[in-house]
Structure 1
Amino acid sequence: MEKQLNLLPINQWNLADTKKPIIISGPCSAETEEQVMTTARSLSKNGITVFRAGIWKPRTRPGSFEGVGSIGLPWLKRVKKETGMHIAIEVANAMHVKEALEAGIDILWIGARTSANPFAMQEIADALNGADVPVLVKNPVNPDADLWVGAIERINKAGITRIGAIHRGFSSYDRSIYRNVPHWQIPIELRSQLPQVPIFCDPSHIAGRRELLQSISQKAMDLDFDGLMIESHCNPDNAWSDAKQQITPESLDIMLESLIIRKMNPEGVSLNTLEDLRFRIDKLDNELLDIIQKRMTLATEIGHYKKQNNMTILQQSRWEDILGTNIKKGEKRELSSGFIMKMFKAIHQESINKQTRVMNEKHTLAKNKNEQIIKAVK
């Protein structure tokens, strides 16, 4: 459901360039003043107008490089002075916010670990109260659209009207080609709830390796994201953190040139064919819902049969057979196993819910009767 926030559109953010896609780039970490300046000059030369660099780095384990800290702020001020670029850094607590604002940093972003913690988000929101600075909120580490929305709402309630979201993927125990699984449906859900919030994609943290950056960036553009945050380093192979996912400014320029930027409604293009295809999809969706309704009616009948014969709701071997058989059928129809698995797991869960209600009908009736007796006695 769409939520209304008091926000300024991105074309009123006072950025040098608001043409899609807006590119934010720079090293994962500010390592030395020379490294920062060399990278910034190359990016600026290639037309990048927003420079990012981490100076406080939240790391999974102690002993890893956790950023240079506050000594990096003057380096970023020098970047702004010499190149005219806007400067963006990550903040994870109230102290970071205070120091960043005092240093005149143009854009703040909040990382995935922080956005997952409502207490940390409230602390940052309180520190931002009265400030006038754009704030970008990365998705929480776990795939939870409501948690992401809540983090954004806290920042907005602090009076910040220039807010964006950054999709950087989600942690997962499952093996994957990605460092963080994209779960594209989550940013799509965010856009449904907060259509006025611009969305950036962080392909560097989704990919974890530079070979995937172009394909992920293109996917973000195809989904009409507003911009990209891509890590770029003057010497990425020797970077102090996340070396495998960073590229040189020159490689970034080549990659951006290869992106196809699409439009939602291109001028001069007739929408008649598109509307006809959408009409046919809507018709199939209705038929699909009718079929699912019939399936759930049968699941309810099965629930009654199981109840009469004192059988468990979950029949594990039957469920595994359904899943395995339909994955094979789906593959023959060019449907991915992941999609089939998600769809049938959802159908199976709804069937369990309906059969559970059948199993508990007597208990529910008895409970309601007892409540009526208690009320009558009172």
Structure 2
Amino acid sequence: MNDLHPLFPADAAAHPRFIVGPCSAETEEQTLATARRLAAEGFTLFRAGLWKPRTRPGGFEGVGAAGLAWLDRVRRETGMLVATEVATRDHVRAVLDAGIDLVWIGARTAGDPFAMQELADALAGHDLPVLVKNPASPDLELWIGALQRLYNAGLRRLGAIHRGFATLDGGAYRNPPLWALPIELRRRLPQLPLLCDPSHIGGRRDLVASLARQALDLGFDGLVVEAHCAPDEAWSDSAQQLSPAELGALVRTLVVRCDGTGAAPLAALRERIDRTDDELLALLARRMEIVREIGEMKRREGLPVLQTGRYGELLDRLTARAAGLGLHADFVRRFMQLVHEEAVRQQIER
């Protein structure tokens, strides 16, 4: 994907730095009231979901195509560009007929290659900006595959939205961020605009600010944040939505980081990181040499390769030292688990 185009021309009224609006367009009055307040805060790109199939039936599932007229009124009255989610070929036809400025594809749809191909076929031949949320499962290849289907259909104004991943233990988050995956997406597809959705990652409005700051500190190109004129009364995802005034105040505190690749002090620090990484690899290689010697000794003595007691002692000792070295115990544990898996493989395959 070396020939992607900007989502919007440089002179467009909106910049994809912030895409804001309610989880759902509920009524025309609520949609317009939210948009007017967001416009007054200086935002220029308004989002609202129209088709909202829920995990289980029976809840509010969106107003559907009727809300397209409300988005058109938002655009005419506020000057904001408007965006909504699409999940089927019929949705695509409706938003194209309505002249919607940008669409996004949700996590459930992005994780279904059949649905993605249907959308790619429906969007082919239309120069419409399309953002793709990560699939709910932490599967980077599935996310890239969803983007590639759109790219192969001729779409060039593409971007990605990181909205967190479904895991068995989310801890404080609704959808844990697992930052390593979007960072790897950025490495693999450096031209692709990458936005973060802190609302869906956190699931609570009190977590949105810290997640937004983390995303911008990590070099994300922008944010997708849910805002509602009366958040506590929202018909969907009320716990994670901010008021327009709260969102405006938050954005004024955010610092958008520049790349900084030309700064001499940063370049010097990166050179030190590179040297340290080389040393770390050399140490790991030396460790595996010793591992192979141990493997040979175990074979001669008729000992099993896997000795869980020794492994448990190793983990306990190193995680106990972690805090004193300024390292998180969970990180040390996960790292040593990977090292141990490689050590076992080396002993088995010799």
TM tier, smaller: over 0.9
Measured after TM superposition, the shift of residue 86 of structure 1 is 0.9
Structure 2 residue aligned with 1:244: 239
Partners of 2:313 and 2:53 lie apart in 1 by 45
Instruction: Read off the aligned partner of 1:278 and give its amino acid letter.
Output: R
Q: State the match for 1:344 in structure 2.
A: 336
State whether residues 205 and 239 of structure 2, in contact with CA within 8 Å, keep that contact through their aligned partners in structure 1. Answer: yes
What is the CA–CA distance in structure 1 between the aligned matches of 2:214 and 2:45, rounded to whole Å?
A: 22
Normalising by the residue count of structure 1, what TM-score does the alignment of the two structures yield? Answer: 0.88
> For residues 32-51 of structure 1, what are the structure 2 equivalents within 5 Å?
32-51=27-46
Distance 1:289 1:13, change over 3 A: same
Q: Which moved more, 1:342-351 or 1:298-307?
A: 298-307
- Equivalent residue for 1:62? 57
Counterpart of 2:9? 12
Q: CA RMSD in A?
A: 1.7
Q: Which residue of 1 aligns with 2:282?
A: 290
Counterpart among 256, 261, 276 of residue 268 in structure 2: 276
Q: Give the whole-Å Cα distance in 1 for the aligned partners of 2:50 and 2:287.
A: 55
Q: Which has the larger radius of gyration?
A: 1
Q: Give the residue type in structure 1 aligned to 2:113.
A: P
From the superposition, tell whether residues 76 and 271 of structure 1 become closer, same or farther in structure 2 (CA, over 3 Å): closer
- Aligned mates of 1:352, 1:321 — CA distance in 2: 16
- Aligned-residue offset at 1:354: 1.0
- Please list, as runs of the form range in 1=range in 2, the aligned pairs for 1:206-355 lying within 5 A after superposition: 206-265=201-260, 271-355=263-347
SS for the counterpart of 1:200 is strand
Aligned counterpart in structure 1 of residue 94 of structure 2, from 81, 99, 111: 99
Cα deviation 1:135-189 (Å, max 9, x = unaligned): 0001111122221111111111111110010011111111411111111111111
- What runs of 5+ residues in structure 2 fail to find an aligned partner? none
Residue of structure 1 aligned with 2:158, choices 143, 163, 168: 163
d(CA) in 2 for partners of 1:95, 1:141: 23
Partners of 2:199 and 2:205 within 8 A in 1: yes
8 Å Cα contact 1:5-1:156 kept in structure 2: no
Contact 2:170 2:176 in 1 (8 A): no
Task: Name the SS of the counterpart of 1:180 in structure 2.
Answer: coil
Task: Kindly provide the CA deviation profile for residues 247-306 of structure 1, in whole angstroms up to 9, marking residues without a partner as x.
Answer: 00000000001112222239xxx8333333222222221111111001111222222233
The residue type equivalent to 2:9 in the other structure is: Q
Query: What is the letter of the counterpart of residue 314 of structure 2?
Result: I
- Asked whether the equivalents of residues 9 and 196 of structure 1 are also in contact (C-alpha less than 8 Å), the reply is no
C-alpha separation between the residues in 2 aligned to 1:27 and 1:233? Answer: 5
What is the match of residue 365 of structure 1? none
Deviation at 1:13, TM superposition (A): 7.0
- Would you say the 8 A contact 2:213–2:254 is kept in 1? yes
- Change in Cα spacing, 1:101 to 1:13, as seen in structure 2 (3 Å) is farther
The whole-number CA distance in structure 1 between the counterparts of 2:123 and 2:304 is: 54
Identical amino acids, percent of aligned pairs: 50
Q: 1:53 to 1:308 in 2, by over 3 A?
A: same
Q: Give the secondary structure class of the aligned counterpart of 1:12.
A: coil
* 1:111 counterpart = 2:111: no
Cα distance in 2 for partners of 1:74, 1:310 equals 76
TM-aligned CA distance change 1:60 to 1:321, over 3 Å:
farther
Could you list the structure 1 runs, at least 4 aligned residues long, displaced by more than 4 angstroms after superposition. Answer: none
Which residue of 127, 150, 155 maps to 2:145? 150
Q: Which moved more, 1:316-325 or 1:247-256?
A: 316-325
Identify the residue that residue 85 of structure 1 maps to in structure 2: 80
Change in 2 beyond 3 A, CA 1:110/1:36:
same
Maintained 8 Å contact 1:55/1:67: yes
The alpha-carbon deviation at position 14 of structure 1 amounts to 6.4
The 2-side partners of 1:59 and 1:315 are apart by 47
